[in-house]
């Protein structure tokens, strides 16, 4: 029987009071920031009540707050922090780039080398172009699909996040004004029906092979196969948003499922921790950007090929996050998530961790989760309590319960997370029953 809301609310109020008492400098910094930043914030996902912690440094797998607290960084910059903090190989590449000049304003060798490395890594990338973020990459991919097909409609999925102007958990007034068809994630039958209904007007189908912000909910292979079938049947362009999930195998989840999209978007970690995005795909599609050709599409962006990101990304993807490293990290994450779920099951806790490889999210109910709608049935106050309790145990994670494993993490860091979760399950047993 679920715990009474009053008991959960009381426990959460106590946790927030401890948090407030333990982080006075972060509170003061937040209040100061509000003078010039709306809500003291310039990135909504990092804000939470009563105020967010301010970070001042990071080293390896750890971050330190303005209040002097050191945390194991299981947030991993929402998957962009794959390499931890100040990886020496990446740092050396940045230092070399700085010595050669920052804004050169011309073609560089490293942009071609990074493009080659990514094209060899991911099955669908015959050609690609760089942007400054995953949001830009998805914007360019969707716009390209519309321009190439001469159609307007784009199929997306409830709970998906494709960037700041492509948010499909609820309604966002800031979404780009494209003609979206919203479908249910992991519902192959519905997707096929909608594709048939809108076929002549369907420019693209855009999907994350695992929902990231939507709760680390993996796509089922038959669902992705149905999207491939629908795109082929109706002449639409299938776009895999692998901004987050491309790190989950040497060739991303498209390689795991052996389903090749027409286009792929990348971002987050591929710049070695610096700002980056990329979109690419079939040669005939991306060839429309070839300025040698008459009528070529124009793609601008002052920092698309910025020397720091190109240099950091090249060594990150060729010397640090090798295919072997990707496989090992995925196995480490799978093992950790399995142990956390076993812990919850053994305690009879209404709690589970969904995900794949090094990316996972906690949900406060024990029923099967295939869609964001099913994930939403979990208790938000319990998830908030989990967040504050794990902070007390030195674990840095997202307020929404996302946990990401990074390369510098070893047995000690994973053991610290397991101990914190075990303490949460034991101390909050009556609330999780």
pLDDT digits (tens, 9 = 90+) for 314-354: 999 999 999 999 999 999 999 999 999 999 999 999 999 99
Rounded percentage of the chain residues whose pLDDT exceeds 70? 99
The answer to whether the Cα torsion of 110, 312, 266, 277 is positive or negative is: negative
What pLDDT sits at residue 4?
56
Q: Rounded mean pLDDT of 397-411?
A: 97
Q: In this structure, is residue 373 part of a structural domain? A: no
254 contacts 123 by C-beta, under 8 angstroms: yes
Q: In this structure, is residue 118 part of a structural domain? A: yes
Q: Is the pLDDT of residue 13 over 50?
A: yes
Say which residues have a Cβ less than 8 Å from residue 205's Cβ, sequence separation at least 6: 154, 155, 191, 195, 227, 230, 231, 236, 237, 238, 239
Q: In this structure, is residue 155 part of a structural domain? A: yes
Q: Is the pLDDT of residue 145 over 90?
A: yes
What pLDDT sits at residue 371?
97
72 contacts 395 by C-beta, under 8 angstroms: yes
Q: Rounded mean pLDDT of 255-272?
A: 98
CATH code, 123: 3.40.640.10
| Domain hosting residue 243, numbered range | 88-320
Whole-angstrom distance, CA of residue 354 vs CA of residue 343: 14
What pLDDT sits at residue 1?
40
Q: Rounded mean pLDDT of 231-236?
A: 98
Whole-angstrom distance, CA of residue 143 vs CA of residue 203: 9
Q: Rounded mean pLDDT of 132-157?
A: 98
131 contacts 159 by C-beta, under 8 angstroms: no
Q: Rounded mean pLDDT of 395-417?
A: 98
Q: Which residue has the tokens 């060594």?
A: 315
CA dist 248 → 134, 227, 312, 338, 349 (Å):
17, 21, 20, 16, 28
| Joined tokens for residue 358 | 């090094």
Q: In this structure, is residue 120 part of a structural domain? A: yes
Name which of 405, 413, 417, 62 is nearest 248 in CA terms.
Answer: 405
Interhelix angle 411-427/323-347, nearest 10 degrees: 20
Write down the pTM of the prediction.
0.97
pLDDT band at 5 (very low <50, low <70, confident <90, very high): confident
| Joined tokens for residue 143 | 């716009």
What pLDDT sits at residue 2?
44
Region of residue 253 (left: phi > 0; alpha: psi -120 to 50; beta: else):
alpha
Domain count, the chain: 1
Buried b (16+ CB within 10 A) or exposed e, 302-322: eebbbbbbbbbbbbbbbebbe
- Encode pLDDT of 419-432 as tens digits: 999 999 999 999 99
Q: In this structure, is residue 428 part of a structural domain? A: no
| Joined tokens for residue 104 | 């050169």
Q: Rounded mean pLDDT of 341-369?
A: 97
Q: Rounded mean pLDDT of 125-141?
A: 98
Q: In this structure, is residue 13 part of a structural domain? A: no
- Encode pLDDT of 36-90 as tens digits: 999 999 999 999 999 999 999 999 999 999 999 999 999 999 999 999 999 999 9
Q: Rounded mean pLDDT of 242-246?
A: 98
Whole-angstrom distance, CA of residue 43 vs CA of residue 376: 23
353 contacts 403 by C-beta, under 8 angstroms: yes
418 contacts 48 by C-beta, under 8 angstroms: no
Burial zone of 251 (CB within 10 Å; 0-12 exposed, 13-18 middle, 19+ buried): buried
Q: Which residue has the tokens 């390896």?
A: 60
- Encode pLDDT of 273-316 as tens digits: 999 999 999 999 999 999 999 999 999 999 999 999 999 999 99
Q: In this structure, is residue 193 part of a structural domain? A: yes
Rounded percentage of the chain residues whose pLDDT exceeds 90? 98
What pLDDT sits at residue 253?
98
Burial zone of 69 (CB within 10 Å; 0-12 exposed, 13-18 middle, 19+ buried): middle
pLDDT band at 366 (very low <50, low <70, confident <90, very high): very high
Q: In this structure, is residue 263 part of a structural domain? A: yes
């Amino acid at each position: 029987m679920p715990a009474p809301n009053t008991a959960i609310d009381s426990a959460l109020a106590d946790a927030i009071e401890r948090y407030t008492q333990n982080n006075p400098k972060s509170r003061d910094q937040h209040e100061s920031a509000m003078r010039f930043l709306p809500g003291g914030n310039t990135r909504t996902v990092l804000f939470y009540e009563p105020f967010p912690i301010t970070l001042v440094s990071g080293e390896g797998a750890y971050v330190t707050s303005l209040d002097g607290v050191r945390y194991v960084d299981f947030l991993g910059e929402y998957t962009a922090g794959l390499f931890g903090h100040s990886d020496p190989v990446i740092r050396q590449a940045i230092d070399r780039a700085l010595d050669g000049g920052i804004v050169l304003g011309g073609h560089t060798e490293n942009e071609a080398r990074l493009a080659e490395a990514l094209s060899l890594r991911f099955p669908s990338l015959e050609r690609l172009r760089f942007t400054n973020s995953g949001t830009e990459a998805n914007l360019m991919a969707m716009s390209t699909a519309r321009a190439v097909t001469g159609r307007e409609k784009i199929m997306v999925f409830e709970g998906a996040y494709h960037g700041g102007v492509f948010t499909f958990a609820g309604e966002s007034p800031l979404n780009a004004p494209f003609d979206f068809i919203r479908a249910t994630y992991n519902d192959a039958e519905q997707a096929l029906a909608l594709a048939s209904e809108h076929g002549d007007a369907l420019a693209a189908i855009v999907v994350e092979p695992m929902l990231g912000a939507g709760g680390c909910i993996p796509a089922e292979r038959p669902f992705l196969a149905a999207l491939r079938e629908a795109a082929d049947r109706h002449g639409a362009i299938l776009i895999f948003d692998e901004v987050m999930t491309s790190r989950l195998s040497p060739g991303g989840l498209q390689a795991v499922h052996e389903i090749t999209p027409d286009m792929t978007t990348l971002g987050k970690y591929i710049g070695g921790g610096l700002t980056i995005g990329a979109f690419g795909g079939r040669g005939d599609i991306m060839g429309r950007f070839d300025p040698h050709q008459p009528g070529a599409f124009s793609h601008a962006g002052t920092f698309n090929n910025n020397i720091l990101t190109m240099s950091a990304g090249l060594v990150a993807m060729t010397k640090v996050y090798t295919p072997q490293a990707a496989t090992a990290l995925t196995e480490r994450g799978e093992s950790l998530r399995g142990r956390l779920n076993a812990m919850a099951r053994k305690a009879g806790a209404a709690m589970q961790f969904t995900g794949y490889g090094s990316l996972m999210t906690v949900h406060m109910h024990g029923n099967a989760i295939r869609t964001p709608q099913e994930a939403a049935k979990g208790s938000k106050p319990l998830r908030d309590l989990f967040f504050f309790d794990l902070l007390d145990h030195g674990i840095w994670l997202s307020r929404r319960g996302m946990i990401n494993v990074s390369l510098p993490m070893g047995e000690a860091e994973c053991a610290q997370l397991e101990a914190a979760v075990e303490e949460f399950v034991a101390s909050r047993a009556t609330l999780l029953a």
